[in-house]
Amino acid sequence: MPVRPFLTLRRGALVAVAALALLLAPLGTSTARAEDGYRYWGYYQRIDNAWQFAQTAPGSTNVEDGSVQGWRYAVAGMTTVRTPRSTPAFNEICGKVRAVDGEKRVAVVVDPGTAEDAPAGSTPPGPPTATCVVAPKDATATQTLQLATSVRTDASGLVCGIDGYPATGCADAVSNITVPASEAPVTPELTDPAGDVSTGAPAWVWGTVGGLVVVLAGAGVLVARRRRA
């Protein structure tokens, strides 16, 4: 499929990194390992009681009523998956929120990660949070996130910051990262919606991700990334 003009190489690289990590995860070891990767907000969906990397961009994903959407800020490489550190069920988050005709209830889990995940000079804003959002039927994952909290995006719609974290930067490449082999569960705090869907990227970025090219040669992986001007 052709790549849409707004799809940056950086977004394609992030999708490739996360997708490849899911494929290689069963082959991983039980110890931490050093590698190159990215520091970014990953987008996940709770399916069959576990987090799964979303196969479409959040700006083009019309999330279902009763679904649980997850976001995790972390450093991650080609062989690691950094999902939210808890998998709460929909009823745990939205069980006390009344359904509204013509709208949908979506549970949004936001995990800002650990101090080791934070950029230099920054610290995570707090523990993971879980918010029940009542949104229009056609709301995308990005729009439901915007209803839950404040969101910073780049011109293409890539989510760069959530709730002011991090204050700058957007899915920056990092070298020689060390990713833990496992992480202890952290129960999220229930919070009320505090966002505004009108503060996001322009409407034209909500299109479908057109394509992605991942070249595998033996055990090597080439991931393209556009340099900043």
Domain that holds residue 165: 9-222
In a domain, 189, yes or no: yes
Nearest partner of 109 among 138, 87, 78, judged by Cα: 87
Summarised one tens digit per residue, pLDDT across range 95-119 is 999 999 999 999 999 999 999 999 9
Q: Is 45 exposed, middle or buried (0-12, 13-18, 19+ CB in 10 A)?
A: buried
- Mean pLDDT comparison of 15-29, 167-181, 207-221, highest-scoring range: 167-181
Cα 189 to Cα 109: distance, rounded to the nearest angstrom? 9
Q: Tell me how crowded residue 206 is: count the other CB atoms within 10 A of its CB.
A: 20
pLDDT higher than 80, residue 51:
yes
Digit-coded pLDDT (tens) for 76-99 = 987 778 999 999 999 999 999 999
Helical segments of 95-151, H only:
141-148
Asked, for residue 69, whether it belongs to a domain, the answer is: yes
d(CA 33, CA 179): 6
What six digits make up the tokens of 217? 């040669």
Which DSSP helix (H) or strand (E) runs through 52? strand 50-53
What is the average per-residue pLDDT within 43-62?
A: 95
Domain membership of residue 170 (yes or no) is yes
Pairing mode of beta strands 172-179, 159-162 = unpaired
Question: Residue 200: pLDDT band by 50, 70, 90 thresholds?
Answer: very low
Band of pLDDT at residue 20, cut at 50, 70 and 90? very low
Mean pLDDT of the chain: 79
Domain membership of residue 66 (yes or no) is yes
Q: Which of 144, 126, 125 is nearest to 186 (CA)?
A: 126
Is residue 99 in some structural domain? yes
The pLDDT score that the predictor gives to residue 37 is 93
Q: Would you tell me how many other CB atoms lie within 10 Å of the CB of residue 96?
A: 9
Q: Is the pLDDT of residue 43 over 90?
A: yes
Q: Which residue would you say has higher pLDDT here, 201 or 88? A: 88
Q: Specify the number of domains making up the chain.
A: 1
| pLDDT at residue 198 is higher than 90 | no
**Whether residue 9 has pLDDT greater than 50:** no
Inside any domain, residue 228: no
